[in-house]
Amino acid sequence: MKDGFIRVAAASPDVVVADCQSNREAMETCIRDMEAQGAKIMVFPELALTGYECRDLFWQQLLQEEAKKQLRILAQDTKDTDALIFVGLPLECAGKLYNVAAALSHGKVLGFVPKSNLPNYNEFYEARIFTTAMPDDPDREVEFFGEKVPFGTRLLFTAEGMPHLTVAAELCEDLWVPLPPSIAHTLAGATIVANLSASDEMVGKDSYRRQLVAQHSASCICGYIYATAGEGESTTDLVFGGQNLVAENGTVLAESPRFRNGTIYTDLDVDRIVADRRRMTTFPAQDGEGYRRISFHLEKEDLELCRFIDPRPFIPSDTAKRDARCDEILQIQSMGLKKRLKHTHAQSAVIGISGGLDSTLALLVTVRAFDLLGLSRDKVLAVTMPGFGTTDRTYTNAVTLVKALGATLKEVSIAPAVRQHFADIGQDESVHDVTYENCQARERTQILMDLANQRGGLVIGTGDLSELALGWATYNGDHMSMYAVNASVPKTLVRHLVRYVADTAGEQALTDILLDILDTPVSPELLPPEENGTISQKTEDLVGPYELHDFFLYYMMRFGFSPAKIYRLACIAFHADKAEEGNGADAKGAEETGTVFSKDFILYWMKNFYRRFFAQQFKRSCLPDGPKVGSVAVSPRGDLRMPSDASSRAWMEELEKIGK
C-alpha cells in the first residue's frame, strides 16, 4: 500500500439462480481477473453464491448446505490470492437464517457480517426468510466446518502492518436507512466500507443510488465499495442492472455501465481519507469500543495507479460544472466585497489596473459588487500606472477594459516619482535588481492608497492565491490592500473565471478585450520591454509553471501529503513518462495528452515551491481581509496559521532523496 493507495474491485459475476457451484466458479474466474489487475479488496454482490432471487428456496436445507460447501471451496481455492474478499450467502446461526457477507483471506473465512436492515416493502420480502441482525456481542462466533468464525455486525478487518487500512461490511438496505451500520463502523475506525448489494432497477433509481453512495462516503469520510447483482438473477418480477460503484469522500471514482456484468477497479487513497478525518475536528476519535478487530495479511507492493490524477485539481473538467463553479466564485467574491463596501460606507473603490489577468478579475468582481449595491460603476476608479516595464499592449488593454465596463479611468505615470525615489536612496536606474522592481510596486500602492483616501473609498487587492503561496508579491506593495478579492483564487482558476465572463458578457467589445488579456503572458512588467516592445519579464520563466505550483499547493494544503507522494502524483498527472528527461513541456505530448513535464522539470520546480512557500510565510502572516472561495486558502486568520520562521529542512531533505 505505497503512499496509502489500495486497489479495490467490485464485481457482478454471471449468476445462475440456486446453482451455488456455477456461481462459485464464476466468482473464481472474476477473482483471477481481479488478481491479475492487482486488486487487494474484492467485493461481490449480496447472496451471490446462491443468487438473490431464490425466494422460498432459501428455506431448503440443501441450498443452505450447498452455499456453505461452495464458500469453503472458494476459500480453499483462493488461499494463494493476496486479497480480502467479500462474498454474500445465506447462513444459519442459532437456529435462524441470516443474509450475510463472508470475509475471506488466504484460504480462511475471517468472519460473517449479517444484514442489519431487511426490506419488507414493495418488491422486497426479505423478512419472510431472514432474521434481522442486531448489534450484538462482538465475541459471538458460529461453527463453520469445525472452526469457530466470528459472527456479528461489529467486525473490523484490519491489515497487518497497515493500521489505517481497516475494512467493514454492510449489505444493501443497510445503506438506504436513516442510520446505516457503516456510520458506527467508520466511527470505530473503518476507512473502507464494502457493501454487498442486490438493488433492482427502476426508472431514475440509478442516479439516486449513485448520489447515495457518494454522499454517504462524504459524510463518513471513507472509501465505499458498492457491488450489486446483475444479469443472471431471476427476471420473474425484477431486473438487476449491476451498477457497481466506488466512491471516496464524496467523489465517485469508478462506476460500471448498467445491464452488463463485469468488474470495476480503482485505487482508494487511504492516507487521504485519514488526513481528512484528522483535519476535521468534528470527526470523533476512533477507539473501536464494542468492535472486534480481525487481522488479515496483504503483501506490500508498488502499484502503478489506475486512478485518474487531475492535473488541474482546482478546475472541474466538465464544462457545465466549470461554468457553474465560475459563476459561484464570482458571486462569493462580489458578495464579500459588497459587504465590506456597505459596512465601511465606502463612496468608491480604487483598483490598480495593469491589463493583466489578476487586476482584470478584480475589476470584474468590483463592478459586479457595485451592481449588487445599486451603485453607479463610475464610482469605481481604475488607475493605470505605467512604469518602466509597461508595454503598449497591456496599457491599451487596461484602458479599453475600463471603458468597456463603465468604470472611471485615471492615469498616473510612476516614472517621475520612482526616479526621484531612486535619487533619494541612491539607486542606480541602470541596475535592474529587486530594489529597482519593488520601488515601482510600492509607488503604485502608495498612489492607490492616497486616491482611496481622497475619495472615501477602499483599495481593492488584485493578488491571487498562487502568488501568495510563492510569495510573488512586493511586501507592502501589491501585497497590501484594503480588501483582497482574489486572495483564495489560484492562478489556474483566474484564467477560467475571466474566460467565463468573456463567454457570457453579451457585449462583443468586452469579450474581445478579455480574450486578448487572456492571450497576454503573465508578467509583473517591472523590467523594461524588449526592443520590439514585447514583454521581457515572464513570471512563469522565473517561478515556474503555475499549473505545477497549483498542483503542489492543492495536495500539500488540502491533504498534508508528503513531497514524495505529491511528486509521484505530479509525475502521473503531467505524463512525465512521455517527456524527455531534463525538458519541460513537450509540445507533441501536450497536444495529445495534456500538459507534459519531465520528472527532472517537476522536481526542480517542486524544490522551488517548497523553498519559497516556507521562506515567504511572513508576507502571508499579515494579509488583508479577503473572501475564501475554495477548500485551500492561506489566510492567517483561517486556513493557514503557520509560523513565519518555520524550517523547511525536512521537506527539502525528502525532495533531495527523490533526486537521488
Q: Looking at the annotation, which residues are catalytic?
A: 46, 115, 172
3-state secondary structure of 548: helix
Residue 238 has a CB neighbour count (10 Å cut-off) of 17
Q: Look up residue 10 and give its amino acid.
A: A
DSSP string, 142-161: EEETTEEEEBSS-EEEEETT
Name the residue with cell 480462511.
Answer: 108
Q: Are 236 and 179 in contact (CB under 8 A)?
A: no
3-state secondary structure of 359: helix
> Residue 453, CB half-sphere, CA atoms under 13 Å: how many?
6
3-state secondary structure of 293: strand
Phi and psi of 374, rounded to 5°?
Answer: 75, 25
Say how far apart CA 211 and CA 203 lie, in whole Å: 15
Say how far apart CA 493 and CA 497 lie, in whole Å: 6
Alpha helix (H) residue ranges in 426-538 = 434-455, 465-470, 491-504, 508-518
Say how far apart CA 437 and CA 386 lie, in whole Å: 13
Residue 155 has a CB neighbour count (10 Å cut-off) of 24
Q: Are 202 and 209 in contact (CB under 8 A)?
A: no
Q: Are 27 and 13 in contact (CB under 8 A)?
A: yes
H/E element, 402: helix 392-405
Say how far apart CA 132 and CA 119 lie, in whole Å: 10
Strands of 223-228's sheet in order across: 251-255, 245-248, 223-228, 192-197, 162-171, 155-159, 292-296
Nearest-5° angle of CA 474, CA 475, CA 479? Answer: 75
